[in-house]
Chain A
Amino acid sequence: MAMKDVPDNIFMTSLDAAASWARSNSLWPMPFATACCGIELMATASSRFDLARFGAEVMRFSPRQCDLMIVAGRVVMKMLPVLQRIWLQMPEPKWCISMGACACTGGVFDTYAVVQGVDRFIPVDLYVPGCPPRPEQLMAGIIALQDKIKHGGTLNGTEFGKRTQPTGPTPYDLDELIRIREANEKLISLN
């Protein structure tokens, strides 16, 4: 078929590009809002900032129906198994945004109870810094993620399979290692 026979309303593209285009413009977020950042997340979705302009307004509270996890707020150790479980329950293709200083690094909550960055335990695609980030910042993040999906996405999600390393920093910093060693020594001397 020659190019001139194609009607005006038909586009030629690769299947990967078409799928990525569709996916990037219909992200359904899973609002994992555990703290103050969640309020900004709600503001982002509400009328003033209107996330619907970017096709991401359908917040779903069932992980089976989502493809974008937004971790908004600090995650405590007791909540981490829940976070991981929800992440595993989300169907492929899926992406994860870590929103705010706490979700990215633990923020000011450098204590025994708070996860020092969710990327140590689940894969994260995009970080939105700020305490809390403004809705515009989150939107900029979502637009950047759309860009990433459009440019790297494939129909079968082969781009996910290549990443076998956790996306976060090496899980231990030095004083943490020292503390674990001391605790073990104490346990051994007790037993």
Chain B
Amino acid sequence: MSAEDALKSKFSGDELAFSQFRDNHRVVVPAAKLFEILAFLKNEQHFDMLAEVTAVDYLEYDGAKDRFGVVYVLVSTKSGERLVIKTFVNDPEPLLPSVYSLWKSADWLEREVYDMFGIRFSGHPDLRRILTPDEFTAYPLRKDYPLKGRGERHNFPVLTRAES
């Protein structure tokens, strides 16, 4: 039984949307069920690796109902299968359960999503910024953040020849 069939029979009462493009299998799941479904895929199916956590900002996107989509790419190192799990969260306080307890690789991946999109993960052991400087206050991959920043590029002292 494929992982998708197993999901269908186990979570038959929930609104799961399945789709496929070539060998890319995708499941959209409700945020409330996310942890349960991922735990099922890890523990009872064979998805032992979390390859990627990332997010998409759907602000002003045609036909989008939710602000952020969060994407989890699972890999099975036994069969080589990949499964893409997607869920949606919304402003003002986008929050999801951390999957650090399932896959340790979620540590930095979730920190990156937090850094770039401001989506928080409850239960994450160390949710700090990972790429931008610590004193950065914005979430630069959000669509409402200007490409050239909000003046961050100038908040540094200038060294002249006389003082160096």
Interface residues of A (CB under 8 A from B): 77-78, 80-81, 84, 87-88, 110-116, 120-123, 160-161, 163-167, 171-172, 175-176, 179-180, 182-183
Contact = CB atoms under 8 A, between A and B. Distances in A.
A113 B164 contact: no
A183 B150 contact: yes
Nearest to A88: B164
Nearest to B137: A187
Nearest to B154: A171
A111 B149 CA distance: 7
Contacts of B154: 120, 171-172, 176, 180
A161 B164 contact: no
B161 A123 contact: yes
A106 to B, nearest CB: 9
A80 B153 CA distance: 10
Given A77-B152, A113-B132, A179-B150, A164 B161 contact: yes
17 contacts: A81-B156, A84-B157, A84-B159, A87-B159, A111-B149, A112-B150, A113-B132, A113-B140, A122-B164, A160-B161, A164-B160, A165-B160, A166-B160, A171-B154, A171-B158, A176-B148, A180-B150
A164 B159 contact: no
Contacts of A112: 138, 140, 145-150, 152-153
A172 B148 CA distance: 13
Interface of B: 131-133, 138, 140, 145-154, 156-162, 164
Nearest to B149: A112
Contacts of A113: 132, 140, 149
Contacts of A111: 147-149
B159 A175 contact: no
A84 B159 CA distance: 8
Contacts of A167: 161
Which of B138, B150, B161 has the most chain A CB atoms closer than 10 A to its own CB?
A: B161
Query: What's the dominant secondary structure at chain A's contact region?
Result: loop
- In the A-B complex, the 6 residue pairs with the smallest Cβ-Cβ separation, listed nearest first, are A112-B149, A180-B151, A183-B150, A163-B161, A123-B161, A164-B162
A112 B138 CA distance: 11
A179 B147 CA distance: 11
Nearest to B151: A180
B43 to A, nearest CB: 38
A77 B146 contact: no
A112 B132 CA distance: 10
A121 B149 contact: no
B68 to A, nearest CB: 20
A161 B161 contact: yes
Contacts of B153: 77, 112, 114-116, 176
B149 A123 contact: no
A179 B151 CA distance: 7
Given A81-B156, A87-B164, 19 more contacts: A77-B153, A78-B133, A112-B138, A112-B147, A113-B149, A115-B153, A121-B158, A121-B159, A122-B159, A123-B159, A160-B162, A163-B160, A163-B162, A164-B161, A164-B162, A176-B148, A179-B146, A182-B150, A183-B150
A81 B147 CA distance: 22
Contact of A175 (B131, B138, B148, B162): B148
